[in-house]
Every structure is written in C-alpha cells, then in structure tokens.
A and B are shown apart, each in its own frame.
Chain A
Amino acid sequence: MNKKYDIVVVGAGPAGSTAARFAAQSGASVLLLEKDREIGIPVRCAEGVGEKGLETVVKIKPHWIAQEVSGVTLISPSEDRVDVESNEMGYVLNRKIFDYELAQMAATAGADVLTRAYVHGLLFREGKVSGVKLQHLDAELEVEASIVIGADGVESRVGRWAGLKTKTSMKDMETCAQVTASHIDVDERYCQFYFSNEKYPGGYLWIFPKGNGLANVGLGLSGEYSKHKSPLACLQDFLDAKFPHASILTTVAGGVPCSPTLEQIISDGLMLVGDAAHQANPVSGGGITSGMIAAKIAGQVAGAAIADGNVSKKRLTEYVNLWNKAEGNKHKVFYKLKKFVYNLTDEELDNAARILLDMPIEKRTLVNIFKSALIKHPSLIVDIIKAFA
C-alpha cells in the first residue's frame, strides 16, 4: 500500500469492488479498503439477483450460483400461494464466493486491496476531501486520495464526515434477521415471499432456496414497527411454526435502507455507492445489482475525472445523472409503490391474491400484479407502466 492514490474506495462489498475495478480499468491508481478480516464474510443478504441487470456489470460465473430460480411465489396472509414466472432467470448466489471474486477482479484490474483496514475519518484540504484516516491492525495511517468513494454500506459514515445528509429515517429502514438453514422443504424453482401487514408490518418474510433443502429464510420489518418485536423474534416464531426441524447454519442481522437514492451522493472529491447511497430497490430491498450498476458508473466517472484533472462536485454530477437514468428515477416510482403496498390490509392482500390465482400463470406479470392490486389507484398504475416501459 502506498501513501497516495488517485482513488480510495471504502468497503469491499459488491459495490465497492465494482467501483474499484472500473476505476482501475480506466488507468487510475486505486486502493480498496475492507474493515473485516475477510472479504465476503459475513453475508448480510438474501443473495437473490436477476440475470439481466447483473450481466450488464459482470459476466456471471456458474460457481457463484447456489440455485437457479424461474420466478417467485407470493404468499398471502391466509396462505394462498401465487406462483409468478419471471421474464428472466434469477439466481440465489453464494455471496461469500461472489464478493471474494469481485474483489479479486478489482485486484486483477490493478487496484490494491487491503483487509482489516478500518476507516475512521476523512482528510480535508482547503475544506475538500483529500483522503482517509484508517487503522490497519495496530497502525494509524493516513492515505491521500483525489477521490474517496464511500461504499461502506448501511452503516456508512463516509458521507456524513463529508457533510452529506445520509441519515436514514426509522420508517425507511428495514430491520432484518436471517438464517441459512437446512431442511427447508420448499419448491426450489421459486423464491418465496410472505406478506402480512399484521405479522410483518412494512416488510415481508422471504425464503430464497440455495439447493438441496438449504435456504436463506429471513424477514424485514420497517423501523416504524420494530419497537414492539424484533425481527429475530418474529423469524424464530415462523421457523418454530413452519420448519421445526430446520438446522440453522448461519444467523445474521442487518438493516436495509429502503428509500429513494439520497439527495446528495457526491461532493468535491467524494462519491457514495450502494447501500451507503441508498441505492437498493425501495420495494424489495434488493441491492446487489442496483449497487453494482451504480458502482460501475461511479468507477468509470471517477476514472475519467482523474484523467481530466477535475474532481469537483460539478464534474462528478455525471455519475448522478447516469445513475438516475439507469435506475434512480425508477426507484422514485418504486418508493411510491412501496408506500402503497405496505399500507394494504391483510384482507386486501388476500383479495389481491385471489384475483391473481384466477389469472392464468402466463398472464401473471409484474405489471398485471400491480394492476390488480392497484385497481383503485389509476395514477400509480400509469407511473408504474412508465417505469417499466
């Protein structure tokens, strides 16, 4: 590791490693820092992705995939099960391997990578971000950089230190618990989603199969409702009721910011990507692909800005514009949809499920699902059709 780089990336999740890879490919000198002892661990994620979006950022390798899925099963409060075939292949990943190899790809592209590197502050010169302060093992270090990319996840502080407004509201924070367990006997062709405003207010419970009876089983609740019961306690109740013989191999907890993208994700010499920028899909909370799409753009723009010798906020606005065009604008519509979906009563959810069950499976597309759920909300339907068009 040197004392000076063009670009320092804080956090080696999928977004951080992707930003580092594309920045290094553009010819910039790049340092990628990870606070944990090993990249890819712990996995605080349900690990589901769609093929199309991910392929725009990285060629998917077979050994990253735990299970292929062809659609989803939506399960209503009274447990009507609605299978919906997707128009693309879905995958449940092994993120331990996936994250590790994405970081390796950044290294292959020329980035320096360092684990056990805990960034605890930024350096400033003339009021502008000029590097990071970090602890590596027992050494206190300072590394100068023209651009710092904060990919430091839900707990992001890089943006805060730079003066950006990054706080997540309680309402928009999904607080989650998940186990990876065996003896989860489900149809492994589908990812399963349980909805109930009473049991999982502001969120849902998921089962994402990983093959041979292994699955990620987890749930998220809006922070507005988690005061009374923790997601871990709710998950335990579900497992006791549905899968009393499950063997639990991993237990993790974590939060997902489910808002539209933060208003400010750049500053002079600073960019935020992934969960740190609130770039997960606000309805589903899925953030792997969207974070990586943003990170690819951010890495490329950062590299070009270095080549131009101009890392001003104005120069970096290109990243914001391209992100909004790619996904950010859609997320604003999804956020409206989220507010609607999570306000549905259990009775309304049951009714929507029955309408869908009467539909032949080939007609159960996402747009039709929303149409049937939104029958009394035409303006929202128009927004959604525009977003998918």
Chain B
Amino acid sequence: MEIKNMQGISYRRDLCDFCGTCVAVCPHDAIELSENDLQITEKCTQCMNCVYICPVRALGGSDE
C-alpha cells in the first residue's frame, strides 16, 4: 500500500472514496480533489479537520 505524505497529513489512495467531505470542512481550501486523486496544498495549516472527518480514514496524521 502506498502512503503519500503531504503537509504533515498522510493519504492512502487505496482507502479513499473521493467523496469530498474533507474538501468541505477544510477552512483554507487547501485540498484539491479530482475523480481519482487528492492533493493537499501548502495552504494547509494542519488543523486536522480533514483527518477527523474522513469517513474511511484515508487521511491520517503523518505519524500514524
């Protein structure tokens, strides 16, 4: 399994459902989501909203 680390957030594409819930709760519009990929841009402040809301735990703190 591939884990991508972006701005201190880990992302597992194999778990991601591309639902966009993380995009909706990001206060800084830091998440770019397409049909099959997700990017966290440097606007991220590591508030962790996306990690806590992710329904399938595709996003995590990078130390997890």
Contact = CB atoms under 8 A, between A and B. Distances in A.
Given A118-B34, A154-B21, A170-B49, A254 B29 contact: no
B21 A173 contact: yes
A167 B35 CA distance: 21
A153 interface: yes
Contact of B54 (A44, A169, A230): A230
Contacts of B33: 155
Residue from B23, B27, B33 whose CB has the most chain A CB atoms within 10 Å:
B23
A116 B35 CA distance: 9
A230 B35 contact: no
A221 to B, nearest CB: 9
Contacts, number: 85
Contact of B35 (A35, A176, A231, A255): A35
A35 B21 contact: no
Nearest to A228: B52
Contacts of A154: 19-21, 23-24
A44 B19 contact: yes
A35 B34 contact: yes
B24 A227 contact: no
A231 B54 CA distance: 9
Nearest to A230: B57
A150 to B, nearest CB: 13
Interface string B25-41: 11101000111000000
B28 to A, nearest CB: 9
A230 B52 CA distance: 8
Interface in A221-242: 223, 226-227, 230-233
B25 A223 contact: yes
A156 interface: yes
Interface in B30-62: 33-35, 49, 52-57
Q: Is the interface of B mostly helix, strand, loop or mixed?
A: loop
B52 A170 contact: yes
B57 A255 contact: no
Given A154-B20, A255-B19, A173 B53 contact: yes
A175 interface: yes
Contact of A118 (B35, B49, B54): B35
Contact of A155 (B23, B52, B55, B56): B23
A259 B32 CA distance: 24
Contacts of B35: 35-37, 116, 118
A253 B53 CA distance: 11
Contact of B17 (A157, A170, A253): A253
Contact of A160 (B21, B29, B34): B29
A69 interface: no
A73 to B, nearest CB: 25
A119 B20 CA distance: 14
The listed residue with most A CB atoms (<10 A of its CB), out of B24, B27, B33, is: B24
A27 B29 CA distance: 36
A175 B29 contact: no
A175 B58 CA distance: 13
A255 to B, nearest CB: 3
A253 B21 contact: yes
A254 B17 CA distance: 8
B34 A175 contact: no
A279 B27 CA distance: 20
Q: Which 7 A-B pairs have the closest CB atoms?
A: A155-B20, A255-B21, A253-B55, A254-B19, A155-B23, A227-B52, A253-B17
Given A153-B20, A157-B23, 16 more contacts: A35-B34, A116-B35, A118-B35, A154-B20, A154-B24, A156-B24, A167-B27, A168-B24, A169-B25, A173-B21, A175-B55, A177-B55, A230-B57, A233-B57, A253-B55, A254-B17
